Structure 1
Amino acid sequence: EGCVTMSDLRKKAMTRLVLCAVALVASIIFSVLLLTGNLDGQTGSGDTTPATGDTTSAAAGVDDPTADSFPTEATGDTAVPPAEEQPAAEPEPTPEPTPVPTFDGLSVQPAVIYNEGEQPSYTVTPDNNLNMRAGPGTDYDKVSKVPASTVVTALGANEDGSWVVVNYDGKYGWLKAEFLS
């Protein structure tokens, strides 16, 4: 009776092995749930990381230098706060559309508008005074004249770039690009 048989030792060892395996699986599940904020059925705000057991993807946000992190007690490590402490994510405000500038006095507005700093400069050819027009064509009314060799800045253009909009002497008008250099 005082002798322990080999099968009793095997049973005890198997029981301990099963208990260790259950504890290991429970620890992994608990860690994943804690990192994803899904502990006790609570979800983190906007957190959609699946609980797959892959702790590296679940902890990816913890090492993010832009993420908020909170120190744990004595170790100095960082941890994600519980879901109830995380502020609700506010939606990004919708930016107001940038108004498209209009050029007063033109019959036709440009199809292409150049941004500030990207506006090309041109010089009227030396042998021509150019008529500024209300639209991109010679059939539009004359708005003004630009003297030969005058430097102008293009503010916009028609679709094929054959005419450009300029502001000369306080007036907007179209100039034929072939007479600009």
Structure 2
Amino acid sequence: MSEIRKKAMTRLVLCAVALVASIIFSVLLLNGTFDGQTGGSQPASGDTISSSAPAEGVDDPTADSFTAESASAEEVPAEPEATPEPTPEPTPVPEYEGLSVQPTTYYNEGEQPTYTVTDGNNLNMRGGPGTDYDKIGQVPASTGVTALGTNEDGSWVVVNYNGTYGWLKTEFLNG
């Protein structure tokens, strides 16, 4: 045999071996028995391989684009369970003693606006947001006060002056 024929025969045999190996690999892959990893488990002698059993996690094992390995390799890890946020207890609405009318808006601690009574005016504190309510105290001119709440339109505020709660008209306060 010539040297060229020997090389051609060798190449032909190698191609035939590669073709047979490809066919065997394809059959194993389609049957779902090939795990694609070295050292993977092989069926024991006497075990039968069923081609009708779908691979785990696969809806249609006959789909053209499916491979058994892609199902496990592309699994998205489960998100950890979120701890539910505790339901906050409703903040009790304060009730200011001595007032005929309670405020419609309450300011949170740290968000309470401060005011100063205008110069030249001693301001009457009232039991409600209006001059028709009883006078329950008086705040001297230039005195600083902190608003605890307000009426609906913000024209009157509730303050605590010397331990007494009362309503002051915002028109006579500097903010």
For the Cα contact (< 8 Å) 2:107–2:148, is it kept in 1? yes
Among 19, 28, 49, the residue aligned to 1:19: 28
What's the TM-score, normalizing by structure 2?
Answer: 0.61
Q: Could you say which residue in structure 1 is the equivalent of 2:103? A: 110
CA–CA distance in structure 2, aligned partners of residues 164 and 97 of structure 1: 23
- C-alpha change, 1:148 and 1:117, in structure 2 (3 Å) is same
- C-alpha change, 1:8 and 1:126, in structure 2 (3 Å) is closer
Determine what percentage of the aligned residue pairs are the same residue: 62
Q: Could you say which residue in structure 1 is the equivalent of 2:172? A: 179
- C-alpha change, 1:7 and 1:60, in structure 2 (3 Å) is same
Structure 1: segments with no counterpart, 5+ residues: 33-53, 62-66, 68-87
Work out whether 1:164 is the aligned partner of 2:125: no
CA deviation profile, 1:131-174 (whole Å, cap 9, x unmatched):
10111111111111111111111111112111010000111000
What's the TM-score, normalizing by structure 1?
Answer: 0.59
CA RMSD of superposed structures (Å)? 2.9
CA deviation profile, 1:53-111 (whole Å, cap 9, x unmatched):
x43xx1274xxxxx6xxxxxxxxxxxxxxxxxxxx988655332111111111111111
Aligned length: 128
Q: Could you say which residue in structure 1 is the equivalent of 2:87? A: 94
SS in 2 for 1:16: helix
Q: Could you say which residue in structure 2 is the equivalent of 1:128? A: 121
Work out whether 1:155 is the aligned partner of 2:148: yes
Structure 2: segments with no counterpart, 5+ residues: 1-12, 37-66
SS in 2 for 1:172: strand
SS in 2 for 1:164: strand
SS in 2 for 1:155: strand
- C-alpha change, 1:89 and 1:18, in structure 2 (3 Å) is same
CA–CA distance in structure 2, aligned partners of residues 9 and 146 of structure 1: 102
